[in-house]
Structure 1
Amino acid sequence: MQYDGLRNSILACRDDRQKRIDMCLRNSLERFAGRPAREGRAFIVTLSMNIPGVVKMPPGAAELAKNGAALVESLPVGLKKDCSMEDALGPFKVYSGFGDPYGAKNSMMFIEESIAEHRLLDIDIYTSDGIVSRSAVAKPERRCLVCSEPAKECMRLKRHSIDEVAEAALELLNKRAERIA
Structure 2
Amino acid sequence: MKDLFATGTPQTIAAVLQSKDHRARRQQELVTKFPTGTVVALKLNVPGPIKTNAALQRLFTAGQRLLERQFQGVTRLQAPVVTTGLAGTEAFYVFAIDGWEAKRRAVAFEDQLPLGRLFDADVLTQAQTHYSRQELGEQARRCFLCDRPAKECGRNRTHSVAELQDYFNRVYAEVFGDD
Deviation at 1:156, TM superposition (A): 2.0
How many aligned positions are there? 166
| Alignment-mate amino acid for residue 44 of structure 2 | M
Alignment match of 1:53 (pick from 33, 44, 48): 48
Counterparts of 2:75 and 2:135, CA distance in 1: 21
Structure-2 residue corresponding to 1:98 = 96
1:154 partnered with 2:149: no
* Residues 98-153 of structure 1: CA deviation (Å, up to 9, x unaligned): 33211111112222222112211221111222121111211111111121111011
- The 5 A counterparts of 1:125-136 are 125-128=123-126, 129-136=128-135
Residue 5 (structure 1) shift: 6.5
Q: Which residue of 1 aligns with 2:6?
A: none
- Residue 14 of structure 1 and its aligned partner are, at CA, apart by 1.1
Structure 2 residue ranges without an equivalent (≥5)? 1-9
Larger Rg: 1
CA deviation vs aligned residue, 1:5-25 (integer Å, no higher than 9, x gap): 711111111111111111111
Asked if the contact 2:81–2:91 (Cα under 8 Å) also holds between the matched residues in 1, the reply is yes
Partner of 1:108: 106
Closer, same or farther: CA 142–5 of 1 in aligned 2, 3 Å: closer
The AA in structure 2 aligned to 1:114 is Q
User: Partner of 2:12 in structure 1?
Assistant: 6
Higher relative contact order (CA 8 A, sep 6+): 2
**Of 29, 49, 57, which residue of structure 2 is paired with 1:23?**
29
Alignment of 1:72 with 2:70, yes or no, is no
Percent identical among aligned pairs is 25
Of stretches 79-88 and 140-149 in structure 1, the one that deviates more from structure 2 is: 79-88
Contact 1:45 1:123 in 2 (8 A): yes
Q: What code does the residue aligned with 2:139 have?
A: P
- Between structures 1 and 2, the one with greater helix share: 1
Letter in 1 for 2:83: M
Structure 2 SS opposite 1:172: helix
The Cα RMSD (Å) is 2.2
* Between 160-169 and 55-64, the greater mean CA deviation after superposition: 55-64
Among 45, 62, 65, the residue aligned to 2:57: 62
Structure 1 stretches of 5 or more lacking a match?
Answer: 33-41
| SS of structure 2 residue aligned to 1:84 | strand
Distance 2:24 2:106 in 1: 20
TM-score w.r.t. length of structure 1: 0.81
Deviation at 1:82, TM superposition (A): 4.8
| Equivalent-residue separation in structure 2 for 1:146 and 1:14 (angstroms) | 25
Indicate the SS of the match to 2:81.
strand
TM-score scaled by structure 2?
A: 0.81
| Aligned partners of 1:52 and 1:162 also within 8 Å | yes
